[in-house]
Amino acid sequence: MITKKLLLTKRPQGLPTKDCWKLEEEALPKLNPGQVLIQQHYISLDPAMRGWMNDSRSYIPPVALGEVMRAGSVGQVIEVNGKTPFQEGDYVTGWGGVQTHCITNGEGFYPINPKWADLPHFIGSLGMPGMTAYFGILQVGEIQEGDTVLVSGAAGAVGSVVGQIAKIKGCKVVGIAGGPDKCTYLMKELGFDGAIDYKSENLKSGIKKYCPKGIDVYFDNVGGDILDTALIFLRKKARVVICGAISQYNEQNYQGPKNYLSLLVNRASMRGMVVLDYAAQYREAMQHIAQWMAEGKLKSKVTIYEGIEEFYPTFLRLFNGDKLGKLILKL
């Protein structure tokens, strides 16, 4: 059996170019005792992938040159050798990487129930983005009923779930997104109370319009000028959740917030969150999100492209905004 895999070949400077990766084909080796072979159906494309390409200290080691590009995945076990955590036919999700097949001892993979939802959702709202949103807004953001919540990157995989969870918990939710179509999606389909198009609207005016009394929780996926502007509108004891900074990932020098003294004046807090810290609680979160989806309280949008050969143009959509909801590659 032949497998295809995408290897990281060089560290990018700025926006990655196509030659940062190399697609290889090879025959699959025989399984060692205790190993399973997973046929991968879908892989997740996430902004965090850009950071994993850097040779720098982070919350997770960088992808080594010559290694398969790291990515979340969902697939089916098609072969086992001896005693393993899974049986042939099981559906699993984990860090399978950008490859059509994955051989593993099962570490870092979790069984999933395809009756809960279609497979792509297990790397979307029921996967890392959903877990990030769930723990980020509930445990780090500590939302309370009646809070005003502002979310950047609100039409993306994480931001869209953050806003919907906040609505479920009785908050007023305002999203920041790029373009009228995304803002309409937030308001008409997801039930946000307001949406600000940062590409065509004045951000300060938009926040004043929708958050006249200020912000209790700001969930940041973007960083840069948008974070800096949001800090101006913090209320007393507000919480800022630093989840990502996609506006900065391809910059040589990150732009830090100039308005950080708003944290002091308003006795507010700013806290980073990494979803891996909550792994022991994933199943509980998945059950809650799956229930909300079944009840129609939480909608999950996926944008799917097909073929491992299409990895690079699909990856670029993370940064040019040409997507809606969760970006997925079907293998």
Reported as a single tens digit per residue, the pLDDT across 59-85 is: 889 999 999 999 999 999 999 999 999
Among 102-116, 132-146, 149-163, 178-192, name the one with the lowest average pLDDT. 102-116
DSSP 3-state percent helix, strand, coil across the chain (nearest 5):
30, 25, 40
Nearest to 134 by CA among 296, 325, 245, 285: 285
From residue 65, how far is each of 52, 53, 252 by CA, in Å?
A: 11, 9, 20
The DSSP H or E segment spanning 235 is strand 234-242
Q: What is the mean pLDDT of the segment spanning 176-197?
A: 97
With cut-offs at 50, 70 and 90, classify the pLDDT of residue 248.
confident
Identify any residues that bridge with 37 across adjacent strands, giving them in sequence order: 79, 103
- Whether the predicted pLDDT of 146 surpasses 90: yes
Q: List the alpha helices (DSSP H) in 48-111.
A: 48-52
Looking at residue 317, its pLDDT comes to 95
Looking at residue 59, its pLDDT comes to 84
Q: Which domains does the chain possess?
A: 2-124+301-330 (3.90.180.10), 128-276 (3.40.50.720)
Looking at residue 56, its pLDDT comes to 82
Do 5 and 24 meet the contact criterion of CB atoms below 8 Å apart? yes
Q: What is the mean pLDDT of the segment spanning 158-185?
A: 97
Looking at residue 247, its pLDDT comes to 85
CA gap 219, 227 in Å, rounded: 9
- Whether the predicted pLDDT of 252 surpasses 80: no
Q: Please give the structure tokens belonging to residue 321.
A: 């905004």
- Whether the predicted pLDDT of 104 surpasses 90: yes
The pLDDT tens digits for 208-226 are 999 999 999 999 999 999 9
With cut-offs at 50, 70 and 90, classify the pLDDT of residue 39.
very high
| Buried b / exposed e along 143-163 (16+ C-beta atoms within 10 A) | beeebbbbbbbbbbbbbbbbb
- Whether the predicted pLDDT of 2 surpasses 80: yes
Q: Please give the structure tokens belonging to residue 319.
A: 């940064």
With cut-offs at 50, 70 and 90, classify the pLDDT of residue 57.
confident
Q: Which residue has the tokens 């909608």?
A: 299
Looking at residue 105, its pLDDT comes to 96
- Whether the predicted pLDDT of 256 surpasses 90: no
Q: What is the mean pLDDT of the segment spanning 299-314?
A: 96
218 three-state secondary structure: strand
Q: What is the mean pLDDT of the segment spanning 126-135?
A: 96
Q: What is the mean pLDDT of the segment spanning 17-28?
A: 97
With cut-offs at 50, 70 and 90, classify the pLDDT of residue 237.
very high
With cut-offs at 50, 70 and 90, classify the pLDDT of residue 254.
confident
CA gap 3, 28 in Å, rounded: 6
CA gap 267, 272 in Å, rounded: 17
Please tell me the pTM assigned to this model: 0.92
